[in-house]
Amino acid sequence: MKKFIAIALLLQSCWPLDLGKRKDGNFLEDVVRLDDFNSEYDDYNSDLPSNKSGLTTLTFSSKRDRKDVFNLVSYPAKFSYDKRLNLEKYKPDGVQYDLFRDTGALEGMINRANGNFNVYGPKTLMFGEDIQDSGQKRNYFLFFADDSEGNMQIKYYWNNDKGIEGPFHFDILNSAADDGYPSFSTMGDKIYFSSNRDGNFDIYEITIPRVDGEKITPESLLQPLSYTLRKVEELSSPSDDKCPYFYDGMMTFVSDRPGGLGGQDIYHATYENGKWGPPINAGERVNTSHNEYRPILPRLNNFNYHLMIFSSDRPGGKGGYDLYMTGLEKRW
């Protein structure tokens, strides 16, 4: 009996402590190379749909298939917790794990997007999950940019009750220059993207007027009756500023502005009280003298800090650009 009580007390004292460490960001500082997904070719520009169970789908641009151009690839993925946090490939075995893949919404759109040209910056969007107050069912989107027409143009496929429709040009974002990497606010009133329409790459913002209680639809987001477009001067610089990703009041992007560690560095900034704070270099824990590229902040309810996935051509990987994962900052 005494032995049983001792074991029970041990479990009571250790197990919650371990959970507490994980919950409070025990893995926050780790920079983990995602070797289950990396290859000897360039792998970057990832996307991870919102999920609540730790089971998801990792989509990214890679040269592994066509070798000379980037096309999109996608794999089932799950988070694992051992001595460190990891993201690894997952065999579903009939278990529901991701709305995009379970309904066939993702593969069909990816197959249609790929071709003998570069396909960059996948961004998935689920109305009812990623856009608040939409009240829509089966409105899944895949956004990307390709250079099939010369310059990079932002396009999307729409998977709804009618099936897959598109590709559509995202006309309110595109110009005669290179445009890419759209990112959306959860209220459907802001869209951020990057463009070199003024010479170098800068970060741009579309603002769509919304009224309280308005039902946001795909049409009102993608083809709004009115909107304003501006360069986000607070985040842009005379250097190249690319790949904005907005979530939960935080913007991440990359820049080769002076004062960095070399090449493209990851920066982040917070949006509070209607204003952008100054861009902050993510520092030596994340950035290197090589290039870091397209940081994303997936919508993950099972973490109390911003988990960030990015790519880098630093030494030590499988070859070219590889995918990495780390924590950025605590959310609460």
CB atoms within 10 A of CB 307: 23
CB 190 within 8 A of CB 170: no
> Tell me: the pLDDT tens digits for 276-297?
999 999 999 999 999 999 999 9
Higher-pLDDT residue of 222, 306: 222
pLDDT in the model for residue 132: 78
Q: pLDDT band for position 3 (50/70/90)?
A: very low
Q: What distance in Å separates the CA atoms of residue 303 and residue 306, rounded to the nearest whole number?
A: 7
The pLDDT confidence band at residue 12, using thresholds 50, 70 and 90, is very low
Residue 131 per-residue DSSP state: B
Task: Report the chain's mean pLDDT, rounded to a whole number.
Answer: 87
Mean pLDDT to the nearest integer, 181-195: 96
The pLDDT, as a whole number, for residue 133 is: 67
Q: For the chain, which domains are there?
A: 29-330 (2.115.10)
Q: Place 21 in a pLDDT band, splitting at 50, 70 and 90.
A: very low
Residue environment code for 187-216, b if the CB has 16+ CB neighbours within 10 A, otherwise e: ebbbbbbbbbbeeebbbbbbebebeeeeeb
Q: pLDDT, tens digit, for every residue of 240-271?
A: 999 999 998 999 999 999 999 999 999 999 99
Phi and psi of 27, rounded to 5°?
-100, 10
**Residue 87 CA: distances (Å) to CA of 230, 325, 331:** 37, 8, 20
**Nearest Cα residue to 165 out of 188, 140, 182:** 140
pLDDT per residue over 121-147, tens digit each? 999 998 878 887 666 677 899 999 999
